[in-house]
């Protein structure tokens, strides 16, 4: 076969397709200009858009298919990064989230403090030896006296 040697081989096309598929993850815009620039830089081959997009191997446009797939991924990433509520500014929503997260952390710390206090009180109660007979006698003797003292205080406050 005479003529110029084929520059865009199937192997090179597959390498270019893998490179294009990585564009969205790397934050590189998926455009034909960026494909041409990166192909020239990485593989040292200056190809035009027409050659890249129209070249078929066994009836499949490898590079064009990879470009379409990467463009779809890029559009999905862009749509996911758009704020959910278009009426509210992104900064306002982020400030609200930060406020709620701070309040959540504060409440968790308070909960841990209360839990520690309750566990300490429970531990103290369980580990302190008590004589049940002394507790019963203390309740029977002090309860009426405390009740009488309370009634006298109420009467004195009413008289004044």
pLDDT at 87: 67
Rounded to whole angstroms, how far apart are CA atoms 118 and 124? 10
pLDDT at 11: 93
- Residues in Cβ contact with 97 at an 8 Å cutoff, skipping those fewer than 6 apart: none
pLDDT at 102: 93
* Gyration radius (Cα) of the chain, Å: 39
Cα torsion at 105, 108, 110, 116 (round to 10°)? -140
Q: What crossing angle do the helices spanning 10-21 and 32-43 adopt, rounded to 10°?
A: 120
Rounded to whole angstroms, how far apart are CA atoms 139 and 47? 98
pLDDT at 83: 64
Global pTM reads 0.51
pLDDT at 7: 86
Average pLDDT of each block of 10 consecutive residues along the chain (160 residues)?
80 94 92 94 91 90 94 89 68 86 94 93 83 73 60 70
How many C-alpha atoms does 99 have within 13 Å on its Cβ side? 6
């Amino acid at each position: 076969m005479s003529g110029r040697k084929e520059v865009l081989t199937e192997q090179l096309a597959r390498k270019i397709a893998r490179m294009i598929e990585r564009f969205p993850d790397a934050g590189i815009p998926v455009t034909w200009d960026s494909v041409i620039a990166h192909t020239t830089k990485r593989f040292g081959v200056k190809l035009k858009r027409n050659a890249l997009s129209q070249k078929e191997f066994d009836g499949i446009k490898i590079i064009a298919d990879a470009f379409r797939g990467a463009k779809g991924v890029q559009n999905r990433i862009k749509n996911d990064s758009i704020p959910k509520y278009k009426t509210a500014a992104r900064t306002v929503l982020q400030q609200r989230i930060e406020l709620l997260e701070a309040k959540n952390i504060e409440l968790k710390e308070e909960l841990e403090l209360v839990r520690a206090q309750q566990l300490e009180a429970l531990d103290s109660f369980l580990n302190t030896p008590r004589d049940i007979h002394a507790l019963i006698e203390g309740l029977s003797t002090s309860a009426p006296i405390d009740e009488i003292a309370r009634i006298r205080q109420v009467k004195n406050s009413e008289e004044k």
